[in-house]
Structure 1
């Protein structure tokens, strides 16, 4: 359970860093640039702790990546005026389904 809480923190940190990357304007704005670096450093530190806690790397990275993709796409669509077509939504669903299959395969 602790591994999944740490993983949620890693996902949140990565999404925060990625969204801040949009606002950093190529690292030309100091504030958002600091958030980018802090977000990614935090994400990787937490991800390392997730692996140390025993979650397999394929499952941990799959969840981290899929949740990050889904959340960043959602934030982009809801708050940054980015387009989200039905085809793109389908792609996000497929990514999440793939990670779910990884997790289900682990329990067999």
Structure 2
């Protein structure tokens, strides 16, 4: 189940970065990655839900890890800035997801 969730996250992050690189869908190769990546992400996420993971936990992990990875990729590879306040916000989002995950285990 967690492997499928990881695949959903990687697919979504790939599609989101490709969306930036597609320059408004004017470049074909990144545009193809956008469409295929989002389709794969939703298919993997649907499989996670079908396997029994609660939707709140699955979506929270998918969204939070995706946001954190896209923000880091943007800062490290795409020349986007990141302030310490933004880093703190990402850490709070991740802490919230961990709390949801821990809370669902009981």
The two structures have a TM-score, normalised by structure 1, of 0.96
Task: Tell me the residue number matched to 1:34.
Answer: 32
Deviations 1:3-40 (A, max 9, x none): 10000000000000000000111111111100000000
Counterpart CA distance in 2 for 1:90 and 1:80 is 20
Instruction: Choose which of 18, 21, 30 in structure 1 pairs with 2:19.
Output: 21
**Cα RMSD after superposing both structures:** 0.5
CA apart distance, 1:107? 1.4
1:11-90 alignment runs, 5 A limit = 11-90=9-88
Moved over 3 A (4+): none
The two structures have a TM-score, normalised by structure 2, of 0.98
Gap runs ≥5 in structure 2? none
Counterpart CA distance in 1 for 2:34 and 2:89 is 26
3-state secondary structure, aligned to 2:25: coil
Counterpart CA distance in 2 for 1:91 and 1:46 is 27
Counterpart CA distance in 2 for 1:91 and 1:27 is 30
